[in-house]
Amino acid sequence: MKHKKKENRIYIIDVTNRDGVQTSRICLAKLEKTMLNLYLNEFGVFQSEFGFPVTRHETNYLNANLELSEAGALSPIRLGGWMRATVEDVETAFKRVPALKHINISISTSDQMIIHKFKGKLDHEMVIKEMAAALRKAKSKGALSVGVNAEDASRTDMDYLIKFSKVAKDNGADRIRYCDTLGCDDPFTIYNRIKELAVKIDMPIELHCHNDLGLVIATSIAGAKAAIDVGCDAYINTTVNGMGERAGNADLVSTILALKYSSGFKNKYILDDRINLSKAWQIAKYASYAFGVPIPINQPGVGANAFAHESGIHADGALKDRRNYELYDFEELGRGEPEIIETGRKITAGEYSGIKGFRNVFEKLEIEFKNEGEATRILELVRYANVHTQKPLTDGELKFIAGYPDIAKKIFTMSP
C-alpha cells in the first residue's frame, strides 16, 4: 500500500508580542499580551512568539501564559520565546521560564552586521559556532522546537547563508528563519533566494519580512511559495495590524487574505487548516485598542472603507452582485453585526470601583460569583488590572480575570 505524499503547508507564526511590541513609542501591558495570545489561538495561528524569556519583567507573564497553555486555555497554539543565539541567553531563559518548549534563537549573518555591528567580537566562523552551541544547549534543556534566525539574511552572502543553515540543521534546528530585516528584498529576489536555500538544506523555512519598501506581504508570500515549490513547509511571520519596528511587519489579516484570494495562491497552496478568518475583526479591533493605534481606513479586510462604496458605478455594481467590486465577503472576517455604543448611563470597572458598580458590570457579562468573598477578590484583581493597563478594561479582559484569577494575579505581578 502506497502512502500519500505529504502536502506541504503554509503556517503562521505571529510575532506581535515580540517584534510588534518593539515598535518605537508603543508598548503593551502583560494582560494585553495575554489577551492577544488568546485571540491568536482562536484565530488558528500555529505559534505566538510571546516574548523574551531573558527579560526580567517578562518572567511572570511568560510563566503564567505557559500555565494557561497547560490548562488548555491556550491550546493548541504554541508559545515560543525569542533570544539571542548564545549559550548564556539559552541557560538564562530556561532558568527563568523552565516550562518553555518552543524557541527561536537569533544571530546576524550579513557582512554588514558581522563587520559593522559585531566589530571584531565575532567573525563569520564564530557566528556559526556561537549559533550551533546555543542550539545544542537549547535541545539539551528540553526545547521541543528551535527555529534558528539568520538576522539580515536578505543581505547575507548566499553561500554563507547555506553553510550557516546546514550547520543549524545538523545540530537539530527545526526551521531556518530567513529575516529580511531591513525590508530590502522584493518578491522576485526573495523567491529566488529561498528556492535556492530550500533546495540546498531541505528543511522548513520561516519568512520574517519588514515593510520598509511597502512590499512586506508580497515578499512574505513569495518566500513561502518558493519553499513550498521545492517541497518544504513554510512559516510566515506576521503581526496584528502590521505593528513592528519602523514601517512594521506583515499584517496578519492581509497575509491570510493574500494567501486565500490572490490569483497565484487561491486553491493552489495549502494554508494551515486551523486558520479562522472570522476572528479577524475581533483581533484587529482589540490590538488597535491595546496599542492605541487606529486601524487605517483603507486597511485590507478590517479598515473602515474595506467594504465601503460611494462612486455611483461601484455602488450600483456592488448592490447588483457583491462580486462585482468585492473580492471576499465581510462576513468571513467576522464583520456585519452592528456595534452598540452606550449613550446613557455607563457603569465601568476600574482601579477605584466599588463592589456594587463592579457587580453590575459583571452581571451584564452574565458572570455570577459564588459569594461576596469571591466577588471582592475579583474586584481587587480588576483594580490592579486597571492600574496595569492604564485604560478601561474590555469585556474580554474582565471575563479572563474572572475565569483565571490566580493566573491573572501572576500576570499583574512585577518582581524587580
Strand pairing report for 47-51 and 270-271 = unpaired
Residue 85 has φ and ψ, to the nearest 5°, of -80, 70
Query: Which long-range contacts link 201-204 to residues 24+ away (Cβ below 8 Å)?
Result: 201/162, 201/165, 201/166, 201/169, 201/176, 202/231, 202/232, 203/165, 203/169, 203/173, 203/174, 203/175, 203/176, 203/232, 204/174, 204/175, 204/176, 204/232, 204/233, 204/234, 204/235
Residues 6+ apart with CB under 8 A from 100: 53, 62, 66, 81, 93, 94, 143
CATH architecture of 9-290: Alpha-Beta Barrel (3.20)
- Helix, strand, coil shares, percent, the chain, to 5: 50, 15, 40
Q: 92-133, pLDDT tens digit by residue?
A: 999 999 999 999 999 999 999 999 999 999 999 999 999 999
Q: 196-233, pLDDT tens digit by residue?
A: 999 999 999 999 999 999 999 999 999 999 999 999 99
CA distance 40 to 47: 8
Pick from 270, 249, 250: nearest CA to 260: 270
CA distance 143 to 135: 9
Given the C-alpha cell 513592528, which residue does it identify?
244
Query: How far from 35 is each of 31, 104, 290, 303, CA to CA, in Å?
Result: 6, 22, 10, 21
Q: Where are the domains of the chain?
A: 9-290, 355-412
Query: How far from 227 is each of 26, 207, 222, 285, CA to CA, in Å?
Result: 33, 10, 9, 32
Other C-beta atoms lying within 10 Å of the C-beta of residue 213:
15
CA distance 233 to 347: 50
Query: How far from 341 is each of 196, 209, 216, 346, 366, CA to CA, in Å?
Result: 54, 38, 35, 10, 18
The grid cell for 310 is: 460611494
**Which pLDDT value is given to residue 2?**
42
Q: Strand, helix or coil at 202?
A: coil
| Burial (CB count within 10 angstroms: exposed 0-12, middle 13-18, buried 19+), residue 291 | buried
Q: Which residues of the chain fall short of a pLDDT of 70? A: 1-6, 313-316, 318
**Which pLDDT value is given to residue 316?**
65
194 Cα distance to chain centroid: 22
